[in-house]
Structure 1
């Protein structure tokens, strides 16, 4: 699946949905840095994509970037509220609370 998506990107297709798919795929594969790269491009292309902000925070945290994760989830909360995406809002609120309670 990732190869197919990478081929689309290489051929010039570049949009938020493609970047989300690549980011999720790399996150699932454990390549957190590459996931964060694609999810970062996704939210640049569509800053209202709350699910992408959620996964971007997860990828950044898994890559060891606590501040980046915190920032992504905070921005994602704004996007989720603006879109009325209650599920993403709840999840990112929980992620932020856990992050604040965790020892740095």
Structure 2
């Protein structure tokens, strides 16, 4: 792991101080993913979508983190849940992006 960013340290301090919300967990997940720690990012992003199941950006980032961790089926499931959440709240851009990511994951890998 690289040295934690200032943003990550600030967000972690908020969480350690008793603050907790979907937005805070999304920020932590995003920063941990940027720091090359998809496992820790997944934990925070799962908490974000637990707090707010309609948070389409968190679903999208969760799918990305899961894919980076090599958990393609879980990533596909996260994108599908995110697509449903985005569709329900009319977030067409997030829905389209997750559809593209899900389609890429669902494609079979050609033999080497």
TM-score range, shorter chain: over 0.9
Which residue of 78, 94, 97 maps to 2:100? 94
Per-residue deviation, 1:103: 1.9
CA distance in structure 2 between the aligned counterparts of 1:87 and 1:102, rounded to whole angstroms: 25
Q: Which residue of 2 aligns with 1:68?
A: 74
CA distance in structure 1 between the aligned counterparts of 2:109 and 2:72, rounded to whole angstroms: 11
**Higher radius of gyration, 1 or 2:** 2
Q: Which residue of 2 aligns with 1:55?
A: 61
CA distance in structure 2 between the aligned counterparts of 1:40 and 1:102, rounded to whole angstroms: 26
Instruction: Name the TM-score, length of structure 2 as normaliser.
Output: 0.90
Q: What is the number of residues matched between the two proteins?
A: 104
Q: Is residue 42 of structure 1 aligned with residue 48 of structure 2? A: yes
Q: Which residue of 2 aligns with 1:9?
A: 15
Which residue of 15, 23, 28 maps to 1:22? 28
Per-residue deviation, 1:102: 4.0
- Structure 2 unaligned spans of 5+: 1-6
Q: Which residue of 2 aligns with 1:77?
A: 83
- Structure 1 unaligned spans of 5+: none
Q: Show structure 1 runs of 4+ deviating over 4 A.
A: none
More helix by share: 1
Post-superposition Cα deviations, 1:28-63, rounded to whole Å, max 9, x if no partner, equal 111111111100000000000000000000000100
